[in-house]
Structure 1
Amino acid sequence: MTRTVYYTATSLDGFIATTDHSLDWLLSRDTDSAGPMGYDGFITGIGALAMGATTYLWVREHDPDWLPEKPAWVFTHRDLTPPPGADLRFTAEDPSRVHAAMVEAAAGRDVWVVGGGDLAGQFADRGLLDEVVVAIAPVTLGAGAPLLPRRVELALQEVVRNGDLACARYTVQRPPSPA
């Protein structure tokens, strides 16, 4: 069954990027991408991506040759043009309107919400987010882009160490349906 997973990293005080969108605080950490809750194992289970425009533009700026290896949706109100050869869709639609297409494109694998705490929150608000996997770095930033800028109830499933990072996997707890 396809799950929608917010897989990300955060500072100890809950920010995924600095106020100027830098990830230097994270990229300097010792981690093993093949280790517990590492990227290598995670990405093998991913069939489609969802990302916000800020994340997309940051990745393209820091790696101009980057193209998603999986079908990807970029949620934006900006007028952006996909690079040639990319299976990339820009949308201003509500996540609930495109989620079924993302699940279909994932072909039995998971959908990854890449960066963007607000985007992950939008999926959660609509009952579409199933899991949060977060690597916690031993640094505080004091300000920046928050991990999740709204209340989301979670249940801890697993905690491991990967190099400098404490990694946790949570399932999203949905409120009970009215009787």
Structure 2
Amino acid sequence: MAGTIYYVAASQDGFIAQAPGPGEWLRAFGDGPEAEAHDSEFLAAAGAVAMGAETYRSFVAAPGSWPFGSIPVWVFTHHEFPGISGADITFVRGDVAEFHPDILHDAGQRDVVLTGGGNLAGQFLDSGLVDEMVVTVLPVSQGSGLRLTHVVEGIDPAGVKERSLGSAVLQRRYDLRR
């Protein structure tokens, strides 16, 4: 059954975002079989993607890094951004609950995938719109930044499924439909 899934990477010390910019610390883990398996699963599930301004900004700043092809992408932002050639992007401002039905419609029989830091995911979680959360824990310590606990606070850990993605990467899947 299609749903809304929040995919996020976290450091082993529990951070999901850090200065100087979103995703910089993730680049070290962008290659290899673990990353390829995660990316393939992520993209295969996605009928539509929702992200915030900072996540979108990271793609604009790295030309050629757009992984979503023609998958409809919804960017929640108060900023003006350029589009990306060949991409199906809708820029919106407002309450996530207002746009969620349209994003689900774009996704069809596949999942709506949330990606990026915790602000947008927190809004979806607070609105009760997230069905699952997939946290990929990478073997790196950040020491500071936005803590994963800021996003998952209050989530019942019962029913968490874990799997290994290679020798050093752990993935946790939280079922929030309970």
What TM-score, normalized to structure 2? 0.85
Other-structure match for 1:92: 93
Aligned length: 172
Alpha-carbon distance in 1 for matches of 2:39, 2:173: 13
Gaps of at least 5 residues in structure 1 are 175-179
Sequence identity, in percent? Answer: 37
Structure number with higher helix proportion: 2
Residue identity matched to 2:99: V
Other-structure match for 1:119: 120
Alpha-carbon distance in 2 for matches of 1:24, 1:86: 23
Alpha-carbon distance in 1 for matches of 2:80, 2:36: 37
Other-structure match for 2:80: 79
Which one of 21, 29, 32 corresponds to residue 34 of structure 2? Answer: 32
Q: Is the 8 A contact 1:82 1:89 kept in 2?
A: no
Cα separation, partners in 2 of 1:67 and 1:46, compared to 1, 3 Å: closer
Alpha-carbon distance in 2 for matches of 1:65, 1:173: 33
1:106 aligns with 2:107: yes
Residue identity matched to 2:14: G
Other-structure match for 1:169: 173
Shift of 1:169: 0.5
Cα separation, partners in 2 of 1:152 and 1:48, compared to 1, 3 Å: farther
Cα separation, partners in 2 of 1:122 and 1:13, compared to 1, 3 Å: same
- Match of 1:43, SS? helix
- Runs of 4+ that moved beyond 4 A: none
Residue identity matched to 1:42: F
Residue identity matched to 2:107: A
Residue identity matched to 2:146: A
The residue correspondences of 1:118-137 to structure 2 (distance < 5 A) are 118-137=119-138
Shift of 1:24: 4.3
Cα separation, partners in 2 of 1:116 and 1:45, compared to 1, 3 Å: same
> How big is each residue's C-alpha offset from its partner over 1:79-113, in whole Å with a ceiling of 9 and x where there is no partner?
22323432101111110000000000001100010
Gaps of at least 5 residues in structure 2 are none
Alpha-carbon distance in 2 for matches of 1:45, 1:131: 12
**CA RMSD across the alignment:** 2.1
Residue identity matched to 2:47: G
